[in-house]
Structure 1
Amino acid sequence: MLSRFAPKTDAQPLVLLNARLIDPATETDIRGGLLIRAGVIADLGPGVTVDNAPNRARIIDCRGDVVCPGLIDMQAFVGEPGAEHRETIATATAAAAAGGVTTILATPATSPVVDDPAVVDFVLRRARDTGKVRVLPMAALTKGCEGREIAELGLLGQAGAVAFSDGAHAVANALVMRRALSYARDFDALVVHFPQDRDLAGEGVMNEGETSLRLGLAGVPAEAETIVLDRDLRLAALTGGRYHASIIAAPLSLEAISEAKVSGHDVTCGTSINHLTLNENDIGDYRTFLKLRPPLRSEPDRRALVHALAEGLVDVIVSDHDPQDVETKRLPFGAAEFGAIGLETMLAAGLRLVHSGDVPLTRLLAAMTCNPAKILKLEQGRLQKGAPADVIRFDPDEPFVVDPLKLRSRCRNTPFAGALLQGVVKMTIVGGEIVWEVAA
């Protein structure tokens, strides 16, 4: 697979000292140092000191900051090919590096759709030439993401696709979904699906309920999500395929996921940082930057998601990074496009849950590091000897105000504009290479 982050034996060693070392995979939280050499973690713990640092190593005093694996975002739109006016791989990965994200799983609903090996190759080459972090392409599950004809999963996987999805387009036909899961199973491939019944969602633009009635907006019932999810889970059980629900936001969906996991099926689920930290009331006076798919749900629904994350039922947190320009967002709420950016703010927004005491720090980080790595079968996501040196340093307590004009994404549609967050990423390292650093 094409990558600019192949191990380099002549790279300058890095020694991070006085750090709070957190490995979510083993739930360890210790004080010590970290040695990076030739693109991998060579040593870590209290025994790593300035006295035993290699010659010509760069010594970095972390001053008690957290050092942990780099974040892995399983859902982000990178713009290329075809939507460079919204985002490019260069700008998306710059935002990712500033937010502590070292691996992006790029969604396939580009123009052209990533349903041909040549397009997979294009994304990999652009990432190699212009990306600051790792970019892994998802390929389309069906041709054109149209839900009718299964894509050539085997050839796409050989070209470098690491998972298969139709993005925000749910596969409506149950027989097509069954065949896709069966076909993917033969390649041990992961199917990532967005569960939403398009007919039941209809023209809905926010959560169906009292708030949508008060605002005079068409609503999307929670059942639009759960009906498709329940179908998918039954088909995954029938076929034995690997299934991941990309974003769930309804308590009914949590019940379905729980039952499937108890039954031993190979299913996982994610939710977005927006659905964990915001609710329908935040839409306020028709704030279109909070028009999302699925819609932000009620506060009790959000609390249920947070509890499921804390208990380990929700496996993954994604940014659901979806840049939209002024022409599609500065419109009446009903006419505005869905989506928000999130690569640069995912970690800091997630730390809200830690500071409130709702989710332990190791559990939050696990949902952004080792859990997605395990699902995608990646070597990254752990802070252990021999692991790839995809590492970040951040201060979980340092406050900052989100200024959209300072964000690195090409678009500014952040739902956290003007919000006071805590958690400044001070250094991002990918394959032993520093790709983001805050000046001391």
Structure 2
Amino acid sequence: MDAPETRYVAVGDADVAYQVVGDGPLDLLYCYGLGGHIEHWWQAPLPAEFLKRLASFSRLLFFDRRGIGASDGVPRNAMPTWEEWTEDLGAVLDAAGSERAAILASLDAGPIAMLFAAMHPERVSALVLLNTCARWMQADDYPFGMTADGVDALVEMIRSGWGTQAWALLGVPSAADDPEFVEVVARVLRASATPRTAAAQYNYIFRSDVRQALALIQAPTLVLSVSESPFVPIEHGRYLADHIDGATFVQLPGGDIGPTRVFSLVADEVAEFLTGVRPAVEIERILTTVLFTDIVGSTERAASLGDAGWRAVLDNHDRSVREQIRRFRGQEINTTGDGFVVSFDGPARAIRCAQSVLKATQGIGIELRAGLHTGECEVRGDDLGGLAVHIAARVAALAAPGEVLVSEMVKALVTGSGIEFADAGERELKGVPGTWKLFAIDG
């Protein structure tokens, strides 16, 4: 699915950017918080996949509210009122020809959606609140949330750290081993707002309180909250569910409030809540290069070193291999105890990664072998399946210590890359029909 066209609707003197994608039977308006950008999300695989999932069962409408991303900015010293921000929602619905829609709202967009649902119940068919709250600060009757000093400190952190990888990682802690994805998130933050603009908006947002709207919400409501976020403690979500009539509460794992793999669970929950049907796991087929690595003589080494010694070797091995996987932009699929299964969208990088892995692990006193094959694989969540995976495993099993062995398909795809091969003959692969021509990487 290509990124849809960005359109604009006038709200007062401002232009608000929005997009429409999908042609499902229900309209779904997605309102996200400061830190998003309507066009940049399509350039990031996980956020784009989330948008595609939402559009698979709906006509998805989403937008940058005033002050965010592609929409007109707002003065730092004159923020819109919350009621004025709700006008953005109504304007987008009108521009898209939607009389009534379900609303999904996350983070600091949540209060806007709650107010809109309370003010315009005839336009909201359902409400989904994701990692959000009606009030951010503590009060006598609201014991969780930030203190006034805590708000001041956090606003200063935003002013000094907004758009950096360190700040981005706070919202996607599960991506600590994926610096490239963290940089994608940081890039979207920078596109969404400047540091001082973000700090000014959050200084205003954190001091808001829309709890009076909760009792007026008539739409069926689902509240989703991750269990470990320091920014939006789960108690905020439970409070919403307790104070919105008939609301359903669902706890999600981890602490990611940004668009990581937990958002596949979000899409499932939203789809089931709005349609009554939880989506079946789709089997996606892709062409990819699969790399298997294996420690030579691992059983004998483990026996000679003992459990503690072998554990130390494995820890060093895992650290070295993962460093090379990141360097060559591979995706770790699985570990086999003494080896790795990795996928690459480019076979040349897969080969160079294998060479670097073998070289890097020599320094820790172990020897590896590696095998690669390029073929069609089934994507099932974070896992890969299919014959191509089995072929890569069988190729690796035939490699000599210190050798990188590849199938003929891999060799054909890297013609002109400068990588040299030595003919390793035709071999039978256990459990795979026919004979297969294999090649060893020369040098």
Task: Report the TM-score, using the length of structure 1 for normalisation.
Answer: 0.28
More helix by share: 2
Higher RCO, Cα 8 Å, sep 6+: 1
Larger Rg: 2
